[in-house]
Amino acid sequence: MKREKIQEEWIIFHLYSLFSNLFPNFAVIMRKQVRTQEDYYNESRRLRAETLLIADTLRDNPLHFTITNGITMNVEVTKSDLKTIVSKNTQDNRFNAFKNKMAQDIRGFLEKAKYEGWRDVKPGKHPETAYFAYFSRELGSKAYLCVRKIKNTGIFKPYAIIDQTMFDAEVPMLKKEEPLD
C-alpha cells in the first residue's frame, strides 16, 4: 500500500513537472485548483502568440507534406494559414487555448485524426476552393480541422479548427465518400 502511494505521488509529481514546462501558466492554475475564464483567456493568448512565432518560420518556406487519411492530400501550411486559424475564436476560451495549441502541429493533427467527410463550397463563397474536408481529434475536447482543396493547384490548405457546435452546423452537408476531383 505504501509503495503504491509513493508511485502515485511520483507520477503526479512528474506529470506536474511536464505540464509546467509545456504550459507555463499550468503551475499557477494548478495552485488555484479552479481555472477561470480569465485563466483560459490568458493561456489562449499565450498559445496564440507562440503559434504566430511558429507561423513566422513558414513565411518564405511553407510546410509541405502528403498524407492519406480518408483521402490522399498534398498539404501546404503557410504563415497565412496559421494566422487564419488562430484568429477564428469562439466564445469558449478553453477551446480557443486548445485550438491554438493544436494549430502548432497541423501534420500531427491530420496523421492522428479521423476523417469525417467533405462538403461542397457554399454558393458565392470561396471561389478558389473546390471543397472542404473535415477531420476530428479528441484530446480533452473534440476539435475538427477543416481543410480546403484549392481548385487551380489541387493543394489542400488548413482553414479552421472548429468546435462541436460549429461542426454540427456542417454535418447535414457532409458527404462520407471520397470527393470527386
Q: Is residue 6 part of a domain?
A: no
With a cut of 60, say whether residue 36 has pLDDT above it: yes
* Number of compact structural domains in the chain: 1
With a cut of 70, say whether residue 27 has pLDDT above it: no
Residue with cell 501550411: 77
Cβ-Cβ contacts under 8 Å for 25 (sequence gap 6 or more)? 39, 42, 43, 46
Q: Is residue 181 part of a domain?
A: no
Q: Is residue 63 part of a domain?
A: yes
Q: How far, in Å, CA of 78 to CA of 82, rounded?
A: 7
Give CA torsion, residues 135, 171, 89, 58, to 10 deg. 30
Q: Is residue 2 part of a domain?
A: no
pTM score above 0.95:
no
Q: What are 32's three cell numbers? A: 488555484
Residue with cell 457546435: 165
In the predicted model, what is the mean pLDDT of the chain? Answer: 86
* Lowest-confidence segment of 12-26, 126-140, 146-160 by average pLDDT: 12-26
Q: Is residue 16 part of a domain?
A: no
Cβ atoms 63, 45 nearer than 8 A: no
Q: How far, in Å, CA of 51 to CA of 85, rounded?
A: 10
User: Strand pairing of 71-77 and 63-69?
Assistant: antiparallel
Q: What confidence score (pLDDT) does residue 108 get?
A: 94
Q: What confidence score (pLDDT) does residue 170 get?
A: 86
Give percent above pLDDT 90 in the chain: 65
Q: Is residue 19 part of a domain?
A: no
Cβ atoms 134, 174 nearer than 8 A: yes
Cβ-Cβ contacts under 8 Å for 46 (sequence gap 6 or more)? 24, 25
Q: Is residue 156 part of a domain?
A: yes
Q: Is residue 28 part of a domain?
A: no
Is 51 exposed, middle or buried, given 0-12, 13-18 or 19+ CB atoms closer than 10 A? Answer: buried
Q: How far, in Å, CA of 149 to CA of 120, rounded?
A: 10
With a cut of 90, say whether residue 130 has pLDDT above it: yes
Q: What confidence score (pLDDT) does residue 33 get?
A: 65
Q: How far, in Å, CA of 25 to CA of 42, rounded?
A: 9
Q: What are 110's three cell numbers? A: 491530420
Residues spanned by the domain of 159: 35-173
Give the residue-averaged pLDDT of 58-73.
93
